[in-house]
Amino acid sequence: MAAMVLVVTAFGAFASVAAANGGGGGGQVNIVRHGAAPSKVPANTHYYKTIQAAVNASKSGDWVLIEPGTYYEEVKVTNAQSGIWIRGMNRNTVIIDGQGKVGNGLEIYKASNVWVENLTVRNFEFGAGCPDEECGNDIWWNGGSGSKKIGAHGWYGSYLTAYDTGLTGGYGIFTDNETEGSWENIYASGFADSGIYIGACQECKARVSGAIMENNALGYSGSNAGGKLLLENSIYRHNTVGIAPNSENPGDGPPPQDGECGRPNIENPNPTPIITTTNIPRCTIIRNNIITENNNLTAPVNGSTGVAPWGA
């Protein structure tokens, strides 16, 4: 089975240096292109050959604008780049390509308030020499995987495409150990774990809208994710499992959410609360989605999803 690739409408091909500069509150603009820089370069504008070089030169309030082309690199954003915008100039033709190699595509590691928009990442795989879940992720806001605590806040993605034709990718669009974020108008296909994953946030303060997830082991996976969490206006089809929220202990810490809503210090309750009734407010909401035909036994699987029930 080959991963289905959906050609989608780009939203930001019109983005200009002036628009980006104005939207970013006066930060510098770092443009990535394969060719030479123009002879006249506006003030506060710089050109780079690689996305990583442009990211490394950025700080809070700056923009990284990526011109159309295929970029064969892994990109890592760190805390020093908290507060930056990364935007492709065309969703379908700005491509970060893993070429079927073990690694991650675009990883935002313990960096807060990072936006990623209007681009495609594909074919980064998990495999030998890389711990489980640490590779094979196309777009990953990583707040500290395995740390059992929240390591960043503010993750925002829109008009993103992730797919894997080799069928050994882990997660398409992924966040863990972070709070306060949203994904809008995103697509993922061909992943052996899940198309999208939100995990390790008892109080996530997150929203997913306009997602299309198909031909993955799981369309959505959400281990120990809860609190204010909204999944709406999306399509989950032809996965092995459509939507799989769960609480587990041990699992992807912080510990499982307990179903309550709005309780202070929800991440580290002390003492652990005793809930005496099910008549409590709920903030995790799944609504207005199409969830259909999630019984695809030809979708890729890994060690955990391969033994899970299907057709849910």
Is-contact 262 269, C-beta < 8 A?
Answer: no
d(CA 23, CA 17) in angstroms, rounded, equals 10
Paired strand residues for 186: 160, 211
Residue 129: predicted pLDDT:
83
Is-contact 126 135, C-beta < 8 A?
Answer: yes
C-alpha 50 chain-centroid distance: 21
Locate 154 and state its tokens.
Answer: 């503010």
Residue 272: predicted pLDDT:
73
Q: What is the pTM of this model?
A: 0.91
d(CA 103, CA 180) in angstroms, rounded, equals 26
Residues 6 or more apart whose CB falls under 8 angstroms from that of 36 comprise: none
d(CA 215, CA 218) in angstroms, rounded, equals 8
d(CA 157, CA 138) in angstroms, rounded, equals 13
**C-alpha torsion angle, residues 158, 164, 170, 175 (rounded to 10):** -10
Is-contact 223 252, C-beta < 8 A?
Answer: yes
d(CA 165, CA 190) in angstroms, rounded, equals 6
SS3 of 227-293: the string is: CCEEEECCEEECCCEEEEEECCCCCCCCCCCCCCCCCCCCCCCCCCCCCCCCCCCCCEEEECCEEEC
Is-contact 311 295, C-beta < 8 A?
Answer: yes
DSSP state of 22: H
Per-residue tens of pLDDT for the chain, all 312 residues: 445 555 454 444 333 443 344 344 569 999 999 999 999 999 999 999 999 999 999 999 999 999 999 999 999 999 999 999 999 999 999 999 999 999 999 999 999 999 999 999 999 999 888 876 799 999 999 999 999 899 999 999 999 999 999 889 999 999 999 999 999 999 999 999 999 999 999 889 999 999 999 999 999 999 999 889 999 999 999 999 999 998 887 778 887 777 777 666 666 667 777 888 888 888 899 999 999 999 999 999 998 898 888 998
Burial class of residue 14 in the structure, from the number of CB atoms within 10 Å of its CB (0-12 exposed, 13-18 middle, 19+ buried): exposed
